[in-house]
Amino acid sequence: MNIQKVTVIGAGQMGSGIAQVAAGAGLDVKLHDIEEEYVQKGLQRIGKNLARQVEKGRLTEEEKEGVLGRIQGTNRLQEAAREADIVVEAVVENLHVKTELFRQLDPLCPDHAILASNTSSLPITEIAAVTQRPERVIGMHFMNPVPVMKLVEVIRGLATGEEVYRTVDELARRMGKSPVEVNDYPGFVSNRILMPMINEAIYTVYEGVAEPEAVDQVMKLGMNHPMGPITLADFIGLDTCLYIMETLYEGFGDPKYRPCPLLRKYVKAGWLGRKTGRGFYNYER
């Protein structure tokens, strides 16, 4: 199947990044969000990212304009979906929200369209089950920031067809990414390994083993990680970390996935990391 028209639902950091790399690969992109204000913010974010690439000499001004010219913003779901070869959903990490969106998209999209979710931990099989095309539903989990990070987890749901998998694998490569095949289990590979490490790092702070700075230094200097796990948790968002840990805990029923009480406390306090100005570190100026 030849993919040329891509619709991205959700114009936030992830969605705008996916739209940017898709347009950069020569694909026609529609970027949708529920409010025109959010659509425009997403388009502005893409414009700023591309302008930085021009400043660094990685793109010409003409190439930048070409990428922007292939992205069309809309806040009307029917308009976004009606001609799509593939829809990539990048909305909030909430199963109810995602399943309702896929339920709406199913009758709006052409019969041949693939429905992909950028979920980082939620079950593709369950999302697919609300549609009349479960064989055409798949996970396409990009990493943040999308224009920079090479990995895409391509997640097969229970019913995902072989042709659909091959098409999405090829699409990811066309977008300059390195796809990895993953089966549908809670957290997939990336977050099943990463989040328990972050959670354990937070436990070492909770139990008084070391301060956040010390934990990060150990992992950076001793394990050669580019960013310490506590800093990474603040970057991802502590609410997102907690949600994924709860998904793992619920999905496997194994106490090793129990979220650290200190993580819960910070989330309840609204200390969510960089995006709120305070998490384990203070980002307020």
Indicate the annotated binding residues for NAD(+): 10-15, 33, 93, 98, 120, 144, 275
Whether 241 and 190 have beta carbons less than 8 Å apart is answered as: no
Q: Would you state the structure tokens that stand for residue 283, as one six-digit string? A: 């980002």
* C-alpha distances in Å from residue 150, one per residue of 141, 189, 278: 11, 15, 29
**Dist CA 258 CA 120 (whole Å):** 18
Active site residues: 120, 141, 153, 191
Binding residues: 10-15, 33, 93, 98, 120, 144, 275
**Dist CA 64 CA 28 (whole Å):** 14
Q: Would you state the structure tokens that stand for residue 156, as one six-digit string? A: 């097969």
Question: What are the beta bridge partners of residue 172?
Answer: none
Buried b (16+ CB within 10 A) or exposed e, 143-168: beebbeeeebbbbbbebbbeebbebb
* C-alpha distances in Å from residue 143, one per residue of 90, 118, 140, 171, 250: 12, 9, 10, 16, 23
